[in-house]
């Protein structure tokens, strides 16, 4: 954009791609357009790069776009002195080299015209059609976004929504930023640093998620040089010193080539140098660099099956480093990336990392969504749409963008959206976990069972009580690893809600926004009243409880319900304490808490003594009509089952509970200690009269040696 200036002698050239001679382009551009029967010289290089990927492309529209852009920007100059037209030309060449289709290149040539010239969107639409107009409008809106710390969250939200609706908008923006970063040399150092930080924090993660590695890696190096100049120079010196005729990767590459040729596998073996940031990361991880750490071998084949054939030959003829093997073909990464990763030991113990992929996979790995062409082009064989639709369904959109569109709609608060987005962008690695029905879930590294529950069930995950990970019972806070099989367990009580502690374990925006949204809709359940926090004990969902006087209907969507309890003040709100969950015919006593509500406990509850010690006056409470009559919703009770650990113990206990016609509201399973396991269940019974029978049924489960009502000790002092 116009905020950046050109520097033809900018350093950091890594790639062998042709670089535009901006001064030559400037002289050509100043001569203006040429006759209608030939392509302007200024975009001949764009046409050449475009035809390399799309031999049959019609270049007429590119010529018209250049003519409009050149005439509109005529007289405008960049800070370096070059005609401004050199900037859209450079951006378009970057995209052409990545394989962008003609519509994207046309919009790229025009991407600054609406913002910086007298050209209107209506003119663009009239001359180039709806698609080009849509892209130009999207990029124009992006240019008005301040990506810094003071950015308006709602503006950034709209930007990403526009990106999700058409990923080509962000493709143009990333190419625009790359050219500006390449030509940042004449800016003041403080402005260079500001632009570099924004690029690092927002645009590089977006490039990663769009799979555009070619742009992402160069942006990383440019940012590295600006923000860490000393480390950059050290890394560049190391790379220069390692360049020479005795490259150990050359030897291993020759051996791999001969091995695959002898096996009859047609493959191209290349040495892929690491970029500066990658070398720097390897150095920080390993300390002393090996000769093979400056690059990786890339093996390109024709078909998916050939990838596994290559892998088999390499693991047969070389010593493999098993810990380095990853299969991103069977389980592609969230940004469409597919490849087999492995490492083998070559002559004299040299270890080389190897990437194995098809030519198609390699194109997508380098260019990401740019390589997918126009994902909105209608299939000629498909019936035409009878009615226009505002929904731009993109079957090739990366999973991250699809998820973004889902959870941004749930985040009614822009600040929540912004915070969760930044957290999500900070995640640089994704894991794949498997569902028990054979499906997969893509989650960020560090995700927990809470994230898996919301990813699989959406808002139904509010009722989660635990999970099974690889067949074993686990708490919702359990952190998942790549390849785990996870089965979230939901309570039968569909009115239940999440625990506030889940936010400590949620890593995905979908989970955090859903949990935060639930508590926004249920403000009375976000935090317990401070005056009720007189004791602690096991809480719902496997997390610590915050107060003894949390009422039994807590976390219920329907709010407080009739308790069947009568106190002296008929207008007081009555709540059953969650610490002891009284049920008829328990003897009761109550205490007034903040707001005038009365929380009712069993008389033997430790919290009663604690409240009396601090001078709280008890309130007389009894079951309605003195007969223990309850509400239509039944009653809740918390039971503790102590048992010896054995397989299927949890399944047998839950079966006994279900047989007694009780619903599990929440459950906690403490870690085994000396082969003993403690289970805490909060249950809803249709009638308190069934409680003794339920407790007998649980005691009859093999391995269970005691079942009792919960008695949580109150803290002293």
- Which active-site residues does the annotation give? 115-116
Angle between helices 276-286 and 229-242 (to 10 degrees): 90
Q: Measure Cα distances from 219 to 201, 216, 581 in Å.
A: 11, 5, 59
- The DSSP string of 204-222 is HHHHHHTT-HHHHHHHHHH
Query: Residue 641: helix, strand or coil by DSSP?
Result: strand
Of 135, 160, 203, which Cα lies nearest the Cα of 407?
A: 160
Q: CB–CB of 430/211 below 8 Å?
A: no
β-strand pairing of 351-358 with 295-301: parallel
Q: What angle do CA 249, 253, 255 make, to 5 degrees?
A: 120
Query: Residue 68: helix, strand or coil by DSSP?
Result: helix
DSSP 166: -
3-class secondary structure for 277-339? Answer: HHHHHHHHHHCCCCHHHHEEEEEEECCHHHHHHHHHHHHHHCEECHHHCEECCCCCCCCCCCC
Q: Report the alpha-carbon distance of residue 664 to residue 651 in Å, rounded.
A: 13
β-strand pairing of 635-644 with 598-602: unpaired
Q: 10 Å Cβ neighbour count for 548?
A: 28
Query: H helices then E strands: how many in the chain?
Result: 25, 21
Q: Report the alpha-carbon distance of residue 62 to residue 64 in Å, rounded.
A: 5
Angle between helices 153-165 and 414-426 (to 10 degrees): 60
Of 133, 160, 130, which Cα lies nearest the Cα of 145?
A: 160
Helix, strand, coil percentages for the chain (3-state, nearest 5): 45, 15, 40
């Amino acid at each position: 954009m116009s905020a950046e200036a050109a520097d033809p002698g900018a350093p950091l050239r890594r790639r062998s791609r042709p670089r535009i001679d901006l001064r030559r382009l400037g002289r050509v551009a100043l001569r203006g357009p040429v006759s209608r029967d030939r392509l302007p010289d200024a975009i001949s290089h764009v046409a050449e790069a475009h035809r390399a990927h799309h031999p049959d492309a019609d270049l007429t529209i590119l010529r018209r776009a250049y003519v409009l852009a050149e005439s509109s920007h005529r007289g405008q100059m960049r800070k370096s002195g070059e005609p401004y037209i050199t900037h859209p030309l450079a951006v378009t060449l970057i995209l052409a080299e990545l394989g962008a289709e003609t519509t994207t290149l046309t919009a790229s040539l025009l991407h600054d015209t609406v913002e910086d010239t007298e050209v209107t969107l209506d003119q663009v639409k009239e001359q180039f059609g709806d698609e080009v107009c849509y892209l130009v409008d999207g990029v124009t809106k992006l240019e008005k976004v301040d990506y810094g710390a003071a950015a308006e969250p709602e503006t950034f939200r709209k930007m990403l929504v526009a990106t999700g609706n058409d990923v080509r908008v962000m493709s143009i923006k990333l190419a625009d930023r790359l050219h500006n970063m390449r030509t940042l040399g004449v800016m003041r150092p403080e402005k260079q640093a500001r632009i570099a930080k924004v690029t690092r924090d927002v645009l590089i993660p977006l490039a990663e998620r769009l799979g555009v590695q070619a742009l992402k890696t160069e942006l990383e190096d440019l940012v590295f040089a600006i923000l860490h100049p000393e480390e950059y120079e050290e890394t560049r010196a190391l790379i220069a010193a390692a360049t020479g005729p005795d490259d150990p990767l050359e030897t291993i590459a020759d051996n791999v080539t001969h091995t695959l040729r002898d096996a009859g596998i047609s493959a191209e073996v290349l040495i892929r140098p690491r970029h500066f940031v990658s070398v720097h990361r390897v150095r920080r991880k390993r300390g002393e660099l090996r000769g093979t750490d400056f690059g990786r071998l890339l093996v390109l084949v024709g078909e998916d099956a050939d990838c596994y054939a290559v892998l088999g030959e390499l693991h047969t003829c070389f010593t493999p480093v098993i810990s380095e093997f990853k299969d991103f073909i069977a389980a592609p990464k969230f940004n469409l990336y597919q490849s087999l990763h492995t490492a083998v030991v070559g002559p004299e113990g040299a270890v080389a990392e190897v990437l194995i992929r098809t030519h198609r996979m390699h194109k997508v790995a380098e260019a990401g969504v740019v390589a997918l062409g126009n994902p909105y082009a209608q299939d000629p064989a498909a019936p035409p749409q009878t009615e226009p639709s505002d929904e731009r369904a993109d079957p090739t959109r990366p999973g991250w963008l699809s998820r973004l569109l889902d959870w941004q709609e749930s985040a009614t608060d822009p600040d929540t959206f912004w915070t969760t987005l930044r957290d999500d962008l900070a995640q640089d690695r994704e894991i794949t976990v498997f569902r028990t029905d054979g499906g997969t879930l893509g989650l960020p590294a560090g995700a927990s069972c809470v994230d898996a529950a919301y990813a699989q069930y959406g808002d139904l995950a509010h009722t989660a009580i635990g999970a099974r990970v690889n067949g074993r019972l686990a708490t919702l806070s359990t952190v998942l690893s790549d390849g785990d099989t996870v089965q979230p367990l939901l309570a039968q009580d569909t009115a239940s809600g999440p625990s506030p502690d889940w936010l400590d374990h949620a890593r995905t925006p979908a989970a955090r926004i859903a949990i935060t949204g639930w508590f926004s809709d249920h403000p009375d359940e976000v935090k317990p009243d401070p005056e009720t926090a007189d004791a602690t004990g096991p809480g719902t969902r496997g997390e610590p409880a915050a107060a003894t006087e949390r009422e039994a209907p807590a976390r219920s969507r329907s709010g407080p319900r009739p308790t069947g309890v009568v106190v002296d003040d008929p207008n007081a709100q009555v709540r059953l304490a969650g610490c002891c969950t009284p049920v008829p015919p328990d003897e009761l006593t109550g205490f007034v808490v903040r707001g005038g509500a009365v929380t009712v406990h069993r008389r033997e509850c430790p919290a009663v003594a604690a409240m009396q010690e601090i001078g709280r006056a008890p309130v007389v409470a009894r079951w309605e009509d003195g007969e223990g009559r309850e509400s239509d919703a039944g009653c809740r009770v918390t039971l503790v089952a102590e048992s010896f650990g054995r397989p299927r113990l949890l399944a047998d206990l839950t079966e006994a509970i279900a047989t007694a016609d009780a619903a599990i509201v929440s459950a906690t399973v403490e870690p085994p200690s000396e082969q003993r396991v403690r289970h805490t269940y909060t249950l809803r019974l249709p009638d308190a009269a069934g409680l003794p029978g339920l407790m007998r049924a649980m005691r009859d489960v093999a391995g269970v040696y005691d079942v009792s009502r919960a008695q949580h000790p109150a803290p002293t002092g």
